Structure 1
Amino acid sequence: MPMTSTIPDDARLPAGETAPRPLPQPITRFTAHGVAQVPDIELKSNGRQRALALTALAGGGAYVLWRASATLSPAVMLAGVSFLLLEVWSLISLAGTTLQAWHLNAVPIPEPAAATELSVTVLIPTDDESPDVLLPVLVAATRMRLASEVVVLDDGRRQWLVGMCDELGIEYRARETREGGWAGNVNAALASLTCDVIVVLGADQVAKPDLIGHVLPYFEDPRLGLVHIASDAVNEHSSDTIGRRESPLARLDFEERILARGRNRWNAAYWAAGPAALRMSAIQAIGGVATVTHGQRIRTSIRLHADGWRSVHHGEPLVRGRSDRGGMSFEAGVRSQTRDHVAALFCESSLWRLGSMQRAAYISALTASADRWRLVGYLALPVLMLVLVGPPASSHVATFTVLATATLVLRQVALRAMGRGWAPRWRSATTSVVRLAAGLGRASLAILVIAAVLLLAALLVVPGHWMISGSLPHAETTFGIWASLWAATGLMLVVRAVARHARVGGPSERRRAPRIDVEGHVFLDGVRVHVLDLSLGGARLLCYGVVPPIDSYCAMTFTDPNRRLAVVTGTVVAVSDRPHGREARIALEPDQTYVLGAILVDALDR
């Protein structure tokens, strides 16, 4: 029953009116972090980026040769060789990044197609996702232009999904077994499809209406078999990103915006976690999607390339997905990605049938997961070597200290230049530590162990301690001070990682409804309020007048995408003070999801 509210009379609707005046403003601007784009001019491959990359490679190569010839001796062999191998690894990684980011416009983004003679089927494999997650995906799929049909492939065999698909006019399919996971689910559908192109969407990926029009022009190349499509996340803060409101950017952006696009130059774009469009004849020629245990998408891409098909990465995000905020699902995702890369690298024999540059681009991308270990080596080795065996150089220690630091700085400058605004900066090392610990399985425990080791090492090498007591006779003053500062930097990064993981930890939201930051206004019990964010399950509203009390029943009036009034009801679950009003959290009733799904999809499309 609607409650009797204490809202002042002058804030209510005039007597006799059945709709708010003026009409509620549509939710018009999607403000989650994934929208901002670096201008195209910053993505051009110009001489400055290449010159910096080549300078960093040449300087790094000269430094490594000097280290091997002038600073090693039997007295420091263990420490010297260990750190030298780490530096060689860093140089090889920079070479791989340069290879991938050398030319970003080898395959220019074409103008979208307005019409086509090709038939396109959209496939959405699903298993255990909730209605709140699936509904925006399915509503968006029905609005995709140029789609011949949309098919939901349900391995969960859920009756409520049958009804949802029937309401939306989507074909529903369920198979008898779950063999092969999602890849087997797609392969089971391929046998009965007669289309020219299939688009495979994840069950939490909300597609833009013009997605198909953007990717179809690539298929004018008769040898093109795969288009991988970049995606963005609708939640701003997650364990996987630093966030674009801070100056440093996450490595995820560097991969999606730069490296994946640069691999087009070497015909090495592969199907990662995002959606993909595939030519039916190509996927049928290799026997369908790879139904291996790990790395189904990547290994499917490798097999397409080995069979002579081409691929391309479309760098403009055409879907909105979700990035985990924390919890076990995030850890599982990191481990799964690492296993996928290792399986593709060591278990996919087709990789060695590719061309040399194509294979080099693949290997560089697949070994990127190991970069987190290199970071830990850089943070811990100098201090541990100083404590246990002395500096990694038998002579020219001061020169070594200066050159090692200069080489590292030059490498970071080159990476930033090649990133064209998307490269990871120094604070993204925090994310690397979080992802490393997550890959070990118990993120909190692993991070604390790493922090304890670095803290112990830092305490052992405080310059005043060893200079007064002489307890570290092998250390020279220059290297000792450098190692102490280095340990302090590493400790700061780890402390940030612990704090960050604690802040975003908790249950994963991967299986929950997307909560989207939007702008616009609605009427709450007839009073105009500002929308902060919205999901299928609830809303956060900024109220400037009297707010209904907690546990009260309320009604919100929206304008739907067709400019018609839509009323949804719910319960006030929390009220808090804000600098410019009061924030109300509304839990919406579950039988209103269709109108909310349309509103959310409309917000994402804008």
Structure 2
Amino acid sequence: MDRYDTPQVTHLNAVVAAPARPPEPAGRTWSIRASALLGLGFGLVYLVWRATSTLHPEAMTLSIVLLLLEVHAWLGLALFTFSLWDVDGAPPVPGQLPDLSVAVLIPTYNEPAEVLLPTIAAAVALEPSHRTLVLDDGNRPEIARLAGRLGAEYLTRPEHVHAKAGNLNHALEQLDVDLVAILDADHVAAPGFLLRTMPYFVDEGLALVQTPQDFYNEDSFEHVTDRRSPRAQPLFSEQSVFYREIQPGKNRWGAAFWCGTGAVLRTSALASVGGVTTTSVTEDVQTTIRLHRRGWRTVYHDEVLARGLAAATSQQYALQRHRWCTGAMQVLRQELPLTDRRLTLPQRLAYAATFLGWFDAVRLLGLLVLPLAVLATGASPIMAPLPLFLVLFVTSLALQQTALWRLARGRIRPVPTAVFDLSRLQATLRAIITGLFERDVPFAVTPKGRRGTGGDDGRTRMPLPRLLTALAVGHVLALAWYAASIAGLTPLSYPIPGVAHGAAFWAIVNGGLLVAAIARMRSDRFADERRASHRFPTSARGTFDGHAVTVDDLSLTGAQVTLDAAFAPADGVEAHLHLQLADGVATFASEVRSVRDAPGGPGLVRVGLAFNPGQLDEQARLALGLFHAPSLEDGPMSATAPAVRQAPDDRQRVAS
């Protein structure tokens, strides 16, 4: 038996429903609440002491700035506690499917066909009976052909105004359905997406069901992975706290809001507020506020029913967060949700937690700059006995950080969270100014995937934000000045040495985090690459021009395979890769793009293949194999069969 004879059962990163978690035990819930209240209570005592006993009259500006930063952190914890007081507040899912008509809408502008193909194929395959419409603001004939071949309708419009919101409104004007499901161009729905969400609409006062956003490209900039594991398993996703904890917590307060994709909305509810709002770049949350004002209810269904593409590079990440923050500031300015009496008080507090959270970037900038100011000038923002201050400060900080971690149910990791905060710092600060003070802000579409154009290897490294560069240089200079001053090499002396030493300690910590953020943003792991669609790691079997191969990774546009060096092809030759899918053998005409030694040992080579264009039918079959579970079983969906199986050799292969 040679090395290729044993089949390997392989699960690719299929889009299957991640079941909603079981209810949290009451004892754990109350323990978490107690931790939060303890952190808030001690923090309040600490702040009162700071305000009344520690402000330095000779450095009052720095003293007040530091105190305000600490007050802001305490208020953030208070709103976080409110948001996560109860994460099990969703109503039970009704048992029957309502007799309502539904259309699935896929708005797109410039996303490539490789991204759209699995989204459209999965949407068309959904149950129950429905219409699927691709709303193309790019007026692309190739997307019209793609939609038609996959069984979807294609819709465009004569005037491309108001970006995604205008695109959706144009479609709503053409439709006569009760519900619309909205999926972004990159979000591939699980087979039970509609079956899981539509039952809620038995409640005639319900306007929206929102599901979590989750992502299949777990090598994205937003995912922190365990690089020691064979497949670099993700340990932390930057958005998981929001989608798996904060949004479920909003159910208790009737404040769950639309997040743009993975949602089902009642068309009559949208009509009652004039359609999707067009006055901000975050039309989803703004529309939800208007729905809540009119008395419509919303539900967050905490079960992953679609997966999309997370920001793959630091540039995409910053662009996306800039748009979100800009939109939040626009909505805050236009809708005044914090003071609107047409919203319930809990809804206003829930929106406060969402919108005011963006101002954490201002606090972060202050906490970065303030230690540098202390080291550079010798001014002390604190006047208190050092042992007493350390005891109270460290205790308050520890209790508040513990409360944050417990409220987030362990999903907050301090170091990765700080690195992400720094990575988006410049984009967020610019967005706060843009959203609050500029009136005409264009909608910036986040590029999907990593298709690159730079360098001989097709990879483009992202430039660093100027603010991070300046902060890093500032930390080096401030610490050098501190060391020289301590050594008596400068005219500066620190009147309260303990404060200076503490500032130096925080500058070292902050500097380390800045280095980590810069390293992540410049890492080759998050650069652009040549392959147009996402690569799924696998160890499936196939045949390559009659020779057995192991498929190392697979996408809709290419593959990487390992085979015996004796059968190694030359660069540029045409060849055929045969894969066994759930519905039979798929054959892909391919071009060899690279041949190199494989890490598996001598006598093996790794071959990079690019699938030739014009194989849409085979790509559609592969898309469902890569992204979908085969069936809906007892309760939660699960993949029970390999999406890609061992292919028969050429003697058994069905002719293509």
- TM-score (norm: length of structure 1): 0.89
Assess, with a 3 A threshold, how the Cα gap between structure 1 residues 326 and 108 changes in structure 2: closer, same or farther. same
Q: Which residue of the partner structure matches residue 253 of structure 1?
A: 240
Question: 1:350/1:70 Cα in 2 relative to 1: closer, same or farther (>3 Å)?
Answer: closer
Deviation at residue 331 of structure 1 after TM alignment: 2.8
- The counterpart of 1:74, out of the listed 41, 45, 57, is 57
Q: Deviations over 1:428-478 (max 9, x none)?
A: 21111111134467743332112111222222223x741655854344333
Select 2:541's aligned residue among 495, 501, 521. Answer: 521
Cα distance change of structure 1 residues 472 and 427 upon mapping to structure 2, 3 Å threshold:
farther
Match of 1:270 among 252, 257, 261: 257
Distance 1:214 1:379, change over 3 A: same
Partner of 2:637: none
**CA distance in structure 2 between the partners assigned to 1:243 and 1:144 by the alignment:** 32
Hey, what's the Cα distance between the residues in 2 that align with 1:266 and 1:492? 39
Kept in 2, the 8 Å contact 1:568–1:588? The answer is: yes
Per mean C-alpha deviation after superposition, the further-off stretch among 449-458 and 342-351 is: 342-351
Indicate the SS of the match to 2:623: helix
User: In 2, Cα distance between the equivalents of 1:37 and 1:119?
Assistant: 26
| Residues in 2 aligned to 1:522 and 1:275: alpha-carbon distance in whole angstroms | 34
Asked if structure 1 preserves the Cα contact closer than 8 Å seen for 2:14 and 2:626, the reply is no
What amino acid is the match of 2:31? R
Task: Kindly indicate whether the alpha-carbon contact (under 8 Å) linking 1:523 and 1:557 is maintained by their aligned counterparts in 2.
Answer: yes
Q: Distance in 2 between matches of 1:373 and 1:478?
A: 26
C-alpha change, 1:248 and 1:174, in structure 2 (3 Å) is closer
Q: Is the 8 A contact 2:117 2:623 kept in 1?
A: no
Give, as a single letter, the amino acid of the residue that structure 2 aligns with 1:160.
E
Q: 2:359 aligned to 370, 374, 379, which one? A: 370
* C-alpha contact (below 8 Å) 1:540/1:583 kept by paired residues: yes
Shift of 1:274: 3.0
Which whole-Å CA distance do the structure 2 matches of 1:125 and 1:525 have between them? 40
- Supply the distance in 1 between the matched residues of 2:555 and 2:591 (Cα, whole angstroms): 14
Q: 2:151 aligns with which of 169, 173, 194?
A: 169
1:151 match: 133
Instruction: Give the equivalent residue in structure 2 for 1:420.
Output: 409
Distance 1:155 1:86 in 2: 44
Aligned residue pairs, count = 585
Q: 1:455 and 1:544, CA in 2 relative to 1: closer, same or farther beyond 3 A?
A: farther
Counterpart of 2:590 in 1: which secondary structure?
strand
Q: How does 1:380-419 map to 2 (within 5 A)?
A: 380-419=369-408
Deviation per CA, 1:335-381: give whole Å up to 9, x if none.
Answer: 11110111111112466131112111111111222223322322331
Whether the aligned pair in 2 keeps the contact of 1:133 and 1:511 (CA below 8 Å) is no
**Counterpart in 2 of 1:4?**
none
Q: Which of 587, 597, 602 is residue 620 of structure 2 equivalent to? A: 597
Pick from 481, 492, 512 the counterpart of residue 460 of structure 1. 481
d(CA) in 1 for partners of 2:369 and 2:599?
44
Does the alignment pair 1:579 with 2:599? yes
Q: CA deviation at 1:41?
A: 6.3
SS at match of 1:225: strand
Q: Deviations over 1:480-533 (max 9, x none)?
A: 322222111111110111111001587768994233334422222233333232
Q: Residue 102 of structure 1 corresponds to which residue in structure 2?
A: 85
Please, which moves more after superposition, 98-107 or 435-444? 435-444
SS at match of 1:315: coil
Find the aligned partners of 2:234 and 2:128 in 1 and give their Cα distance. Answer: 39
* Residue 273 of structure 2, aligned match among 286, 306, 315: 286
Q: Distance in 1 between matches of 2:608 and 2:95?
A: 40
Secondary structure, aligned partner of 2:556? coil
Structure 2: distance between partners of 1:157 and 1:93: 45
Q: Which residue of 1 aligns with 2:198?
A: 216
Q: Distance in 2 between matches of 1:35 and 1:542?
A: 32
Q: Secondary structure at the match of 1:557?
A: strand
- When structure 1 is superposed on structure 2, of 321-330 and 142-151 the one drifting more is 321-330
Q: Is the 8 A contact 1:444 1:498 kept in 2?
A: no
Q: Distance in 2 between matches of 1:379 and 1:364?
A: 23
Matched, 1:64 2:47: yes
- Give the partner amino acid of 2:169: N
Q: Deviations over 1:214-237 (max 9, x none)?
A: 111222222110111212112123
- Residue in 2 aligned with 1:436? 425
User: Of Structure 1 and Structure 2, which has the larger fraction of its residues in helix?
Assistant: 1
| Deviation (angstroms), 1:31 | 7.4
Q: Which position in structure 2 is the counterpart of 1:17?
A: none
SS in 2 for 1:311: strand
SS of equivalent residue, structure 1 residue 579 = coil
Cα shift at 1:545? 5.0
Match in the other structure for 1:88: 71
- Shift in CA distance, 544/459, structure 1 to aligned 2, threshold 3 Å: farther
**Do 2:90 and 2:301's aligned partners in 1 also have CA atoms closer than 8 Å?**
no
* 1:590 match: secondary structure: coil
CA RMSD of aligned residues (A): 3.0
Q: SS of the counterpart of 1:312?
A: strand
Tell me the secondary structure at the aligned position of residue 367 of structure 1. helix
The question of 1:445 aligning with 2:466 is answered yes
What residue identity is the alignment partner of 1:459? Answer: A
Encode CA deviations 1:52-101: one digit per residue, 9 max, x unaligned.
Answer: 11111111111100100110142231121110000000001111111111
Aligned AA (2:161): E
Report the more deviating stretch, 517-526 or 424-433: 517-526
Alignment check: 8 A CA contact 1:225 1:282 kept: yes
**1:255, distance to aligned residue in structure 2 (A):** 0.8
TM-score normalised per structure 2: 0.82
> Is residue 251–residue 424 contact of structure 1 (8 Å, CA) maintained in 2?
no
- Structure 1 pair 573–37 and aligned structure 2 pair: CA distance change class (3 A): farther
How far apart, CA to CA, are the structure 2 residues paired with 1:272 and 1:304?
A: 14
With over 3 angstroms needed to count, the CA separation of the structure-2 counterparts of 1:54 and 1:172, relative to structure 1, is same
1:136 corresponds in structure 2 to 118
C-alpha spacing 1:395/1:574, structure 2 compared with 1 (3 Å): same
The change in CA–CA distance for 1:184 and 1:107 in structure 2 (over 3 A counts) is: same
Match of 2:496 in 1: 476
Q: Is the 8 A contact 1:123 1:200 kept in 2?
A: yes
Deviation for aligned residue 1:178:
0.9
Report if the CA contact (8 A) 1:225-1:311 is conserved: yes
- Indicate how the Cα distance of structure 1 residues 255 and 468 shifts in structure 2: closer, same or farther if over 3 A, else same: same
Partner residue of 1:118 out of 100, 110, 116 = 100
Write the distance in 2 (CA, Å) between the matches of 1:142 and 1:231: 20
Cα distance in 2 for partners of 1:54, 1:35 equals 35
Cα distance, 1:225–1:174 mapped onto 2, change above 3 Å? same
List alignment gaps of at least 5 residues for structure 2: 227-231, 431-462, 630-656
Partner amino acid, structure 2, of 1:310: R
> Does structure 1 retain, via aligned residues, the 8 Å contact 2:223–2:238?
yes
Partner of 1:533: 553
**Mapped partners of 1:78, 1:246: distance in 2:** 47
SS state at 1:157 partner: coil
Shift in Å, 1:166: 1.9
